[in-house]
Amino acid sequence: MRNEIRELRGRNGLSQAQLGEAMGVSRQTIIAIETERYTPSLPLAMALARYFELPVEEVFHADGTA
Amino acid sequence: MLMEPRSLYRSRWFMPVFSSILGLLILGAFVAADDLGTGIAGLGMMVAVGFVFLIGGRRSETLAGLGGPGRDERWEMIDTRATAFAGTVLIAALIACWLWDIAGGGDGSPYGQLMAITGFAYIAGIALLRWRG
């Protein structure tokens, strides 16, 4: 699933490890989400969106568009 | 209600302790069969496996995930799929062994019984998981 995690993380000056720690997941899981190899669960997707103070549909794009 | 991502933390000592307990059970089984040497070798092997996970988990995501501390929801998905894959391979092997035994004049034991257990476990699992939602 296309998402804005890499851009949002960069904009907030966070490392993958820091974001992973904040979300309670591994750095590798953040990498897998950013590279679209893994679609997070709904609770994790919502937690990520809430962390960046954005609606979930602005962070994750189910239709594959920006 | 907003849910928090599930925490799946497991201590890095889980795998060393688990494999050591398994090693002790192996030792017990071989001692019961009057074969202390093989039992000690089995225990040593299982303790070594545990420490491979403990030490290797610091460098390898695969070992960390298998061993415990690296587990999160992605690892849970990987674990579920890997278990399903291993189960499929096991079922295929059981069917092949069962047919091979029957073709050789045997009665298919114990492969037939193991297939029956697998089948019942699958149906029970489906029923339980469906009931849980």
Strands (E), chain B: none
pLDDT of residue B46: 96
Cβ-Cβ contacts under 8 Å, A44 against chain B: 5, 73
Give residue for tokens 């029923």: B127
3-class DSSP state of A4: coil
- A-B C-beta contacts closer than 8 Å: 42
Give, for A3, the enclosing helix (H) or strand (E): strand A2-3
pLDDT single digits (tens) B43-58? 999 999 999 988 888 8
Nearest by CB to B6, from A32, A38, A43: name it.
A43
- What is the rounded CA–CA span in Å between residue A42 and residue A47? 8
A66 pLDDT higher than 60: no
pLDDT of residue B14: 85
Percent of chain B predicted with pLDDT > 90: 66
For residue B50, the distance in angstroms to the closest alpha carbon of chain A comes to 22
Q: Which of B16, B19, B22, B10 is nearest to B56 (CA)?
A: B16
Taking CB atoms and an 8 Å limit, are A26 and B61 in contact across chains? Answer: yes
For residue B68, the distance in angstroms to the closest alpha carbon of chain A comes to 12
pLDDT of residue A12: 96
B2 pLDDT higher than 60: no
- Chain B residues whose C-beta is within 8 A of a chain A C-beta are 2-7, 61, 64, 70, 72-75, 77
For residue B49, the distance in angstroms to the closest alpha carbon of chain A comes to 23
Question: From the CB of residue A3, how many other CB atoms can be counted at a distance below 10 Å?
Answer: 20
Per-residue DSSP letter, B43: H
Taking CB atoms and an 8 Å limit, are A43 and B5 in contact across chains? Answer: yes
CA atoms within 13 A on the CB side of B9: 7
Q: Which of B24, B14, B8 is nearest to B50 (CA)?
A: B14
For residue B5, the distance in angstroms to the closest alpha carbon of chain A comes to 5
Contact A25, A17 (CB under 8 A): no
Contact B74, A26 (CB under 8 A): yes
Taking CB atoms and an 8 Å limit, are B4 and A43 in contact across chains? Answer: yes
Across chain B, mean pLDDT equals 89
Predicted TM-score (pTM) of the model is 0.76
Contact A33, A40 (CB under 8 A): yes
Cβ contacts of residue B110 below 8 Å, gap of 6+? none
Tokens of B74: 């992605």
Peptide bond into B110 cis (omega under 30): yes
Give residue for tokens 């695969």: B62
